[in-house]
A and B are shown apart, each in its own frame.
Chain A
Amino acid sequence: MTAMREIRERAALQNGLVSAFMVVGLIVLLSGQISRRLTFGRVHGSAIAIVIGLVLAYWGGTRTGGHRGLADMSLFGGIGLMGGAMLRDFAIVATAFEVQVTEARQAGLIGVVSLLLGTLLPFVVGAAIAWSFGYSDAVSMTTIGAGAVTYIVGPVTGAAIGASPDVMALSIATGLVKAILVMVGTPMAARFLRLKTPRSAMVFGGLAGTVSGVSAGLAATDRKLVPYGALVATFHTGLGCLLGPSVLFFAVKAVVG
């Protein structure tokens, strides 16, 4: 029996990506059934699949103590490749093939405006809350505020302006919570957000930020809107890393001294 198990585990280990295809296929199958049978189609299958993914990530994280969720368990290492930045971006770029150019062009300006708002607003909110919790120096406020933009902008900004490790960790945690909130909350709030047209998806992509949050949130809401939101959201991290350690840091310094 143990020999059987060993052979089976070795097969999965040596074929990481292929195992990941199978695991994700099972998750999608299961969530499709849950969507149809338990919610009568009211909750999108992909929304359930993403939540199952997040729960598995939590399980993996507590089992291994690592930072990559399920991907840290050797048996599920292929998940790391399948859902990693390389294939994620490859699939996002592929969705551009579906973009209706006229619609995207019409929303170009409002996309840029929401991109700027999407950097500024979370930053101000994050920095203000950091201040109210006693992180009242400019470096900590900027780092935590930047974390509220995305979980990449946070540490990049923090490293550039010399934040302490615990503030960096807090900043990353802020960005992670934000991404997860956007992933799970978007399908629930879709009606309130008026998320229906390509233009509205571009506004969403700019303001909600975080590629992972936007891409999963839109996938769970309406797959057709994905390319429009992603097109704008992919500029989010770059813009945040540009403004965070420079303009925004100086502004905070000017305010709190």
Chain B
Amino acid sequence: MIIYGTALLALCHLLGIFLGDLLGQALGVKTNVGGVGIAMLLLITARIYMHRKGILPKLTELGVEYWGAMYIPVVVAMAAQQDMVSALRGGPVALLSALAAVAVCAVVISLINRAERPASGALAEPVRNDNPLLNETE
């Protein structure tokens, strides 16, 4: 049933956020530390485990994949609620430090990625994506 997939996703999400909060508490930080990342790792693990056990039917997968496919629309809604006015009102200090920070990081990203050995053999194939609900975005 499709709800099993969505419930699995919800379980991983909540568990990840919970563990991220615990980690934040343990480190003495007032925020969540990597909760979403932990949730992603949990979901990856759950997928591999259930796949191996043969308890991951297509419909269950679709319950997760639907939300993966909703990702871009959700991001558009996120963009529509950014505090653009405050951002533009920050003046030269905000503008310059953000611009310079982004520029420095872009150069470093470019340097690191240029050092990546061009597709070591088997990896030459393009990135695969087996979410069936995404084919149209190509």
| A and B pair up | yes
- Interface residue ranges, A against B (CB under 8 Å): 20-21, 24-25, 27-28, 46, 49-54, 56-58, 60-62, 65, 67-71, 76, 79-80, 82-84, 87-101, 103-104, 110, 114, 117-118, 121-122, 125-126, 129-130, 133, 135, 144-145, 147-148, 152, 156, 159-160, 169-170, 172-183, 185, 189, 192-195, 197-200, 203-204, 207-209, 211-212, 215-216, 219, 222-227, 230-232, 234-235, 237-239, 241-242
Whether the pair B95, A197 counts as a contact (CB closer than 8 A) is no
Q: Does B59 contact A (CB under 8 A)?
A: no
Mark contacts of B96-134 with chain A using CB atoms, 8 A cut-off: 1 yes-contact digit, 0 otherwise. Answer: 111111101110111011101001000100011111001
Task: Specify the chain A residue showing the minimal Cβ separation from B78.
Answer: A83
Whether the pair B71, A199 counts as a contact (CB closer than 8 A) is no
Partner of B123, one of A25, A110, A126, A197: A197
Whether the pair B40, A227 counts as a contact (CB closer than 8 A) is yes
Quote the shortest CB–CB distance from B11 to chain A (angstroms).
10
- Interface residue ranges, B against A (CB under 8 Å): 9-10, 12-13, 16-17, 20, 23-24, 27, 29-37, 39-41, 43-44, 47-48, 61, 64-68, 70-102, 104-106, 108-110, 112-114, 116, 119, 123, 127-131, 134, 137
Complex Cα–Cα for A135 and B82 (A): 27
Q: Write 21 A-B pairs (CB below 8 A) sorted by A numbering.
A: A24-B77, A52-B76, A65-B85, A69-B83, A70-B80, A94-B9, A94-B67, A98-B130, A103-B127, A121-B104, A126-B98, A174-B93, A176-B86, A177-B87, A193-B110, A197-B116, A207-B109, A212-B82, A215-B75, A238-B31, A242-B33
Whether the pair A194, B77 counts as a contact (CB closer than 8 A) is no
Task: Specify the chain B residue showing the minimal Cβ separation from A208.
Answer: B105
Whether the pair B79, A216 counts as a contact (CB closer than 8 A) is yes
| B interface secondary structure, majority | helix
Quote the shortest CB–CB distance from A82 to chain B (angstroms).
4
Partner of A238, one of B9, B20, B47, B84: B20
* Contacts A93-B12, A238-B24 given; does A216 touch B110 at CB 8 Å: no
* Contacts A97-B43, A121-B105, A238-B34 given; does A24 touch B127 at CB 8 Å: no
Complex Cα–Cα for A238 and B97 (A): 21
Whether the pair B93, A133 counts as a contact (CB closer than 8 A) is yes
* Contacts A130-B97, A160-B30, A235-B37 given; does A58 touch B85 at CB 8 Å: yes
Whether the pair B68, A97 counts as a contact (CB closer than 8 A) is yes
Whether the pair B87, A173 counts as a contact (CB closer than 8 A) is yes
Complex Cα–Cα for A65 and B131 (A): 40
* Contacts A24-B73, A156-B31, A207-B105 given; does A83 touch B67 at CB 8 Å: no
Whether the pair A194, B114 counts as a contact (CB closer than 8 A) is yes
Whether the pair B40, A230 counts as a contact (CB closer than 8 A) is yes
Whether the pair B16, A93 counts as a contact (CB closer than 8 A) is yes
* Contacts A98-B68, A185-B102 given; does A235 touch B33 at CB 8 Å: yes
Shortest 7 CB-CB contacts between residues of A and residues of B: A173-B90, A83-B77, A53-B79, A238-B33, A96-B40, A122-B101, A83-B78
Complex Cα–Cα for A88 and B66 (A): 14
* Contacts A93-B36, A193-B110, A208-B109 known; 6 new A-B pairs at CB < 8 A: A54-B82, A83-B77, A118-B105, A129-B96, A176-B86, A177-B95
Complex Cα–Cα for A178 and B92 (A): 13
Quote the shortest CB–CB distance from B9 to chain A (angstroms).
6
Whether the pair A69, B105 counts as a contact (CB closer than 8 A) is no
